[in-house]
Chain A
Amino acid sequence: MKVVLRNPRREVEVAGNRRVKDVLRELDILPETVLVIRGDDLVTADQMLRDDDVIELRPVMSGGVR
């Protein structure tokens, strides 16, 4: 399955047919730091992803002095 990462925007291919949290673990991403987006929906960490899914892992962190 395809995973879209941001800042900078790039794509990686990972094995599907497993849960969101397993994919996050493989990519070494803390669940607290991203939204997991599939199409128009948000997906929770326990959901299964299929091999033909495309998900975006969108970082939620903003920084600097605001």
Chain B
Amino acid sequence: MKCRKCGGAAALELRRHNAAFCAPDFLEFFRNQVREAIRRHKMFTRDERVLVAVSGGKDSLALWDVLLDEGYDATGLYLDLGIFDYSVESKAKCEAFAARRGAPLIITRVADEVGGPVPVIKQVTRRPPCSGCGLSKRYLMNRAALEHGMAVVATGHNLDDEAATLFGSVMHWQTDALPRQSPALASTHPKLVRRVKPLYRLSEREAAAYAFLRRIDYIVEECPFAKGATSIAHKEILNRMEEASPGAKHNFLFGFLEKARPAFERAEAVQLNECARCGQVTTGTVCAFCKLADQVKRAAADVPPAPEQ
């Protein structure tokens, strides 16, 4: 297989683009897709400070790497979820990356904020770990950006993540979730920062290839709670469709963004309030994060938690 650009030996085939690239030309392709995403959705400018949510995985570290190379003022935010060895190792990867690139990294411990790490939250709430975890992450990302005076949070969501989320929403016709699925969500309140996904045009295989070719030391192991997640089942289904028809995932997501999403946009705006406890934005009186932290802290005061592995 030959590189589409230079005719040299290819390192990676991109079937959905009907192309293959050598390592240097693939890296340039990858950066171009990120540039295109940022430009097309006016994600941020070089005058803005960007908070990059990093997990230690390939996507977020690849994103941070590109943004730094492109000259953006990008600070990392690592949320320590307290998920056993997975968190210990993924945190070390982020710290090593930050040190190597000389980039600033903010670390926030979920246990300090919620009253217990994710395994304890799971125990106390008796809900799937991803629900309390996801809620905490969204809240803490937004709060960290506000506290540090940054107008935008960038996450490493890739094409596969977005296609799998869309698939899940469509399977259940969650018409309220559909308009919120976007590569860039504008701020709708002074205390809500913009949220952007500069990797949405790139597949997770491309993100992994970028990280590998850039010699980024990322965590290959998965969060132990990811196993049963429905998003993984959806990704598997989509990958099978992709195998049969290259470009299927891309067409599914981009078709939605270009043709269908506007149809689900709601006319009436939701009423946004400031949480009576913490001042962050909520649709109710007390925000979901404060309620969660309340529940976890109360449980911790009663019985000392003993997380099962």
Please give the residue numbers on chain A whose beta carbons come within 8 Å of chain B beta carbons, in ascending order. Answer: 6-7, 30-35, 37, 41-47, 58-66
B260 at the interface (CB under 8 A from A): no
CB of A65 within 8 A of CB of B229, answer: yes
- Closest-CB distance, B203 to chain A (whole angstroms): 8
CB-based contact B12/A58 at 8 Å: no
B226 CB-CB contact with A under 8 Å: yes
Q: Is the CB of A63 within 8 A of B156?
A: no
Fill in one digit per residue for B203-237: 1 if any A CB lies within 8 Å of its CB, else 0.
Answer: 11101110011000000111101110101100100
Interface hits, B113-166 → A, CB 8 Å: 130-131, 133-134, 137, 155-157, 160-161
Residue-wise, chain B 226-259 has the 8 Å CB interface mask toward A (1 for contact) of: 1101011001000110110000000000000000
Are the CB atoms of A61 and B160 closer together than 8 Å?
Answer: yes
Interface size class of B (residues with CB under 8 A): 35 or more
Residue of B nearest to A43 (CB): B11
Residues of A within 8 A of B59 (CB): 62
Task: Known contacts A42-B213, A62-B204, A66-B155; decide if A30 and B243 are in contact (CB<8 Å).
Answer: yes
- Contact: A37 with B212, CB < 8 Å? yes
> A65: which B residues are within 8 A, CB to CB?
130-131, 133-134, 137, 229, 231
Given contacts A32-B239, A44-B12, A44-B20, 9 further A-B contacts (CB under 8 A): A6-B221, A35-B209, A60-B207, A62-B204, A63-B222, A64-B222, A64-B226, A65-B131, A66-B157
Instruction: Contact check, A7 vs B205: say whether CB atoms are below 8 A apart.
Output: no
Closest to A46 in B: B1
- A-side contacts of B15, CB under 8 Å: 32
State the CA gap A37–B240 with chains docked (Å): 22
Tell me whether A64 and B205 are in contact (CB under 8 A): no
Chain A nearest Cβ from B58, distance in angstroms: 7
Task: Please name all residues of chain A whose beta carbon is closer than 8 Å to the beta carbon of B204 when the two chains form the complex.
Answer: 60-62
Q: When A and B form their complex, which 8 residue pairs have the shortest distance between CB atoms, in order from nearest? A: A65-B134, A63-B226, A60-B208, A63-B232, A64-B226, A42-B11, A65-B130, A60-B205
Determine the chain A residues whose CB is within 8 A of the CB of B11 once the complex forms.
41-44
Is B296 an interface position by the 8 A CB rule? Answer: no
Q: Is the CB of B231 within 8 A of A63?
A: yes
Cα–Cα distance between A46 and B9 once the two chains are bound (Å): 11
Chain A residue nearest in CB terms to B158 = A62
**Bound state CA distance, A62 and B209, in angstroms?**
14
In Å, the complex CA distance between A44 and B10 comes to 7
- What is the distance, in angstroms, from B131's C-beta to the closest C-beta of chain A? 8
Q: Which residues of A contact B131 (CB under 8 A)?
A: 65
Contact (A32, B205) CB under 8 Å given A44-B1, A66-B161:
yes
Q: How far is the CB of A29 from chain B (nearest CB, A)?
A: 11
Contacts A64-B225, A65-B130, A65-B229 given; indicate if A6 touches B220 (C-beta within 8 A).
yes
B239 touching A62 by the CB < 8 A rule?
no
Q: Please, which residues of chain A bring their CB within 8 A of the CB of B205?
A: 32-35, 60
Which residues of chain A come closer than 8 Å to B221, judged between CB atoms? 6-7
For B205, the closest partner residue in chain A by CB is A60
The answer, yes or no, to whether B75 is at the interface (CB within 8 Å) is no
Q: How far is the CA of A7 from the CA of B57 in the complex (A)?
A: 14
Residue from B23, B58, B227, B242 in contact with A60 in the complex, judged by beta carbons closer than 8 Å: B58
Known contacts: A7-B220, A44-B1, A66-B156. The answer to whether A33 contacts B239 by CB under 8 A is yes
Residues in B with CB closer than 8 Å to A45 are 13
CA–CA, A33 to B227, complex, Å? 16
Closest CB of chain A to B70's CB: distance in Å? 22
